[in-house]
Amino acid sequence: MNDAIVKRWNLKVLSEDEVYLLGDVMLNDNEKGIKLLQSLNGKIHIILGNHDTPTRESLYRECENVVEVALAARLKYKGYHFFMTHYPCFTGNLEKESLKQCTCNLYGHTHQQTNFYQDIPFMFHVGVDSHNCTPVHIDQIIEDMNKKVKECKEML
């Protein structure tokens, strides 16, 4: 599994790409986990998860490809606002005209095989479990979220 994730990551991510890894970077063997992390392309921002111990946090900070280690991060992209966390967070509602008026949550943690937390269109799961063991591009996330908003509005 680890080799497949590294291979798929590096096929999709270039060395200059900014990548947000939303927690639980590794389990068990820290030495092996750090070697795998160091083999990943991109400038990696790590959002800490429940398996990311203080020891692991220190190890992440020593990796040349890791540019940030934090509990959460905010990102503005193409007029959209994202709050990235390990755990799913309610950050808005559908009372707005568009997703650009919301703060959308990107999260990991749940290991679900679907992209939306309880079918909520502004809470998107970015874990490898629902993305064929590859990172998901933010443009794809925006497209999927907008489709989900349309689907929800049509149901009303």
Tokens representing residue 27 in the block: 């389990």
* Residue 143: both structure tokens together: 């497209």
Q: What is the pLDDT of residue 2?
A: 85
* Residue range 64-82, pLDDT digits in tens: 999 999 999 999 999 999 9
Instruction: Select from 3.60.21.10, 2.40.50.140, 1.10.3720.10, 3.40.50.1220 the CATH code of 2-155.
Output: 3.60.21.10
Model confidence band, residue 95 (pLDDT cutoffs 50, 70, 90): low
Helix residue spans in 50-133 (DSSP H): 54-61
pLDDT band for position 112 (cuts 50, 70, 90): confident
Grade residue 93 by pLDDT with cuts at 50, 70 and 90: low
The rounded distance, in Å, linking the Cα atoms of 88 and 116 is 10
Predicted pLDDT of residue 96? 65
Per-domain boundaries in the chain: 2-155
Q: What is the pLDDT of residues 24-63, one digit of tens each?
A: 888 889 999 999 999 999 999 999 999 999 999 999 999 9
CA distance 106 to 82: 7
